[in-house]
Chain A
């Protein structure tokens, strides 16, 4: 018997042996998704839910995951932390879901991550941005399928320094809650490291959900800072931008709005040209590298037809979470010799997984954090759309701007130096 024949006999035997450990293929894969369906953050949760339903239908039409169809149950994060945790437990323990996608709010992610490890349930943090999760703790069952606040803020600083290198003064108007405070902490730390001579002339943290920014705007009109940062979102951002542009604040100051991709369509012509807009990743319905991809443009059109609006970043985040979930099962199945994997094998497969949602490739690092490139642009008002679109688009390489494994963002940012601005890989798209 020669070696080749031996192999031909041995390989199936080995597979037969491992398949003894394979889990039984279920009738369906059931996931629980937490999203704000009420409250102010429903501006993110409602489109994401619509997207999840469309995408799950598409996945099931194409044969599901390894032949198993997918179904989802949604939990409203707007019901509050206690109710969310109770519902989360119920879905995991009573309904026996195969994975949880949680959540939009960073506060909720902080509470859910340890719970997921306790319950030994695969938890995909599909939208929340706090960088602390994996910097301060280790989790086996928790993964984030997109970037976090650090690369999002750092890329905004880099874009600003590349496009407006000579500015002198900056002011901030952020919502008064953890995201508003934390994002300013990261942004200002990075800015002070990369451009130490910038002066911060005002820091405003108006109440979350504030209906009126007139007083802040009067103050800013008098101060005339070169740049005004706002990481606000939803109704707060809309109100601020409208009141600011009505009173000509943008004549002397450039707005830097890292979350404004999600407000572009609602703002219509209220957002003037020349303001810097971020997308929390490379999420944009006119993504310059995806415009020739029929799968991308087809989805954008389908989503617009179904919901009346263009997709915004939570929709892209949802596609990443679902594709990561699908990718992990497929990877685990392959590692399992084509047999259905058990839940632990799927969790193992998440680390090092590379997948594509509706943007560039994302990779999950060994600490569970996804590495995602960042797209930013400057607003342009044209005749093609009745709202501002992005020009002068830059996409920053996620590897270089994400805090390395094992480091804490604040320390890592402070250790950078101004040469970093030119050292980062960036693709620029003139449109």
Chain B
């Protein structure tokens, strides 16, 4: 494997990791605060993709500028977060926080299954595609290989921006600090007067919006098909578990690790490429059951 191939595999891995990170970070954020493994996260991703493609397609068919694809992605993220994520937290999840973990998992899984059918009702079984955003940005030649600027530059930049944004939000803003307080110790936070219900709602809306944003970003690069949400939830769970559930920065590192692992596998041992994310997860969890950046949990009695 020469230096050129290593560079190419690196670029591919980073582009892939950026997309996976967008979804996994929302999943891990929600888990960190609410201690709920939200399987319906995959639906938010898929709905974000479907919505962007179908609305975008309609807008462009009506003759509007293709640059609207970018604001549309933001709108999609906000809609998925507020219109879908918000009510689910308020009217469904809120009732089950005190219940067993297994039940919570089953409820979000049920939501996921319902959304799968809803998607099929609305969008049918045919693949959708709209790559306006990707086409607009053109291609870049690196080492004689043509890359799309969208995947090589735009996706990683957006991912880094989201990471920095989340970090600043959690560390520097009051709302973020409240979120952190609830993450650390919910009982104590409630005792000193923090409205945990509100924090949960905000967290869930942000997490869902990130998944929707991930779907919107992905929609420019891939066919939007039934079942895309299921694939993504499995992969982002692998990322979140590798990182340690609840670790925002860890999710970025784990996504990068898994993205690079996968792309190097395609170059060296294509047969293994599907397994690589899970092999990495397995290796990490064997050595550190709490994940790369996870903290040992103290059990309260």
Shortest C-beta distance, B217 to chain A (Å), equals: 12
Q: Is B87 an interface residue when CB atoms closer than 8 A count as contact? A: no
Per the bound structure, the CA–CA distance linking A38 and B274 in Å amounts to 24
Binds A, one of B5-13, B78-86, B165-173: B5-13
Q: Is B267 an interface residue (CB 8 A)?
A: yes
The 8 A CB mask of A229-254 against B (1 = contact, 0 = none) is 00000111011001100111000000
A161 to B104, CA, bound (A): 58
Question: Chain B interface residue count: which class?
Answer: 35 or more
Residues of A within 8 A of B5 (CB): 222
* Chain A binder among B139-147, B197-205, B241-249: B139-147
* A219 adjacent to B131 (CB under 8 Å): no
Contact of A205 among B15, B148, B270 (CB under 8 A): B270
A46 to B218, CA, bound (A): 26
Stretch at the interface among A148-156, A186-194, A209-217, A282-290: A209-217
In whole angstroms, how far apart are the Cα atoms of A40 and B227 in the complex?
8
Give the chain A neighbours of B15 by CB distance below 8 A: 214
A55 to B11, CA, bound (A): 51
B12 touches A239 (CB 8 A): no
Q: Which of B125, B218, B231 contacts A38 (CB 8 A)?
A: B125
Contacts of B19 in A (CB 8 A): 212
Contact partner, A204, options B8, B135, B266, Cβ 8 Å:
B266
Closest to A37 in B: B125
Q: Is the CB of A212 within 8 A of B227?
A: no
Within the complex, which residue of B13, B135, B218, B263 is in contact with A246, where a contact is CB–CB below 8 Å?
Answer: B135
Q: By the criterion CB–CB under 8 Å, are A176 and B4 in contact?
A: no
Q: Given the complex, which residues of A lie within 8 Å of B227, measured CB to CB? A: 39-40, 209
Interface size on A, residues (CB 8 A): 37
Q: Does A203 contact B (CB under 8 A)?
A: yes
Confirm or deny: A43 has a beta carbon within 8 angstroms of a beta carbon on chain B: yes
User: With A46-B124, A246-B139, A247-B139 known to touch, is A219 a contact of B146 (CB < 8 Å)?
Assistant: no
| A326 within 8 Å of B (CB atoms) | no
Q: Assess the A214–B16 pair: CB atoms within 8 A.
A: yes
B226 surroundings in chain A (CB, below 8 A): 38-40, 42
- Smallest Cβ distance from A243 to chain B, in angstroms? 7
Contact of B4 with A46 in the complex, beta carbons under 8 Å: no
Instruction: Give the chain A neighbours of B8 by CB distance below 8 A.
Output: 218-219, 222
Given known contacts A215-B9, A238-B223, A207 and B129 CB-to-CB distance under 8 angstroms: no
Q: Does residue A266 face the partner (Cβ distance < 8 Å to B)?
A: yes
Complex CA distance for A39 and B231, rounded to whole angstroms = 13
Q: Which residues of B contact A (CB under 8 A)?
A: 4-5, 8-9, 11-13, 15-16, 19, 120, 124-127, 129, 131, 134-135, 139, 144-148, 151, 218, 221-228, 231-232, 262-263, 266-267, 270-271, 273-274
A-B contact pairs, 26 of them (CB 8 A): A38-B226, A42-B126, A43-B125, A46-B124, A46-B125, A203-B270, A207-B274, A209-B225, A212-B16, A214-B15, A214-B16, A215-B273, A216-B266, A218-B8, A222-B8, A235-B127, A238-B127, A238-B223, A239-B129, A242-B129, A246-B131, A247-B147, A248-B146, A266-B126, A266-B129, A270-B129
Apart from A202-B270, A215-B262: 12 A-B pairs, beta carbons within 8 A? A38-B120, A42-B125, A42-B226, A206-B273, A207-B274, A209-B228, A219-B266, A235-B224, A243-B221, A246-B139, A247-B148, A248-B146
Give the top 5 A-B pairs by smallest Cβ distance, nearest first: A42-B125, A235-B225, A235-B127, A235-B223, A215-B12
